[in-house]
Amino acid sequence: MDFRDRHVVVTGGAGALGTAVVGTLIAAGAVCHVPCLTAADAERFPHRNHPQVKLVVGVDLVDEAAVSGLYDAVPALWASIHLAGGFSAAPIGETRKADLTRQLDMNLVTCFLCCRAAVTAMMRHTAGGRIVNVAARSALEWRTAAGMTAYAASKAAVAALTVALAEEVVGHGVLVNAIAPSILDTPANRQAMPKADHTAWPKVEEVAHTIAFLASPDNRVTRGSVVAVYGKS
């Protein structure tokens, strides 16, 4: 995959999956624009000093104006990859309206605003572009979402957004897809589930390669897909 001289926004780029995605992209020649909410997030990012990484600190992805400003500053945007989000699990009786709203903000609203800004930026040139969102296994297999209804609903909305937007913008050369991970093999997930079979979980580096392909010029035909990345789990 050749990303030389192509500009890519990666939200959630400082997280475990994001670090793997940015590493894959910069190895392929991309210039990665990575928004971080706080300076502490930026300081923890392993690729923060790489010359192909442009960190932007203080971007709240739920803030419409902040998201627009982020994308307005990216020259000739080629791809936008939306990894930012959050997880919460609780029985519905213990899930307040505020909890649901927070899941919708973290997962759906951030994705929607970034998709909208990315499409607007891509329309400024004629090269088309690529958008990759992140749904979840529970967004596709609803019966697995018992005890996490707010999270599953927010991620199912991301899946619907992806497919609808893919149909809307394909005529402009913009291909939109999403991935749907099961539990990713990260230090935080291992700590939370120490007795699980970690060998079955998909590795972030492997998932990063799937994301990079969907975001690459090599992807010429795949659109409107929510690609399962379950590993052996």
- DSSP string covering 142-169: GGGGTT-HHHHHHHHHHHHHHHHHHHHH
- DSSP string covering 78-144: EEEEE---------GGG--HHHHHHHIIIIIIHHHHHHHHHHHHHTTSSS-EEEEEE--HHHH-GGG
SS3 at position 40: helix
The verdict on whether 71 is a catalytic residue reads no
**How many of the other CB atoms lie within 10 Å of CB of 101?**
13
Residues 6+ apart with CB under 8 A from 198: 185, 190
List the catalytic residue out of 71, 112, 151, 201: 151
Q: How far is CA 37 from the centre of its chain?
A: 15
Bridge-based pairing state of the strands 174-181 and 129-134: parallel
Catalogue the active-site residues.
151
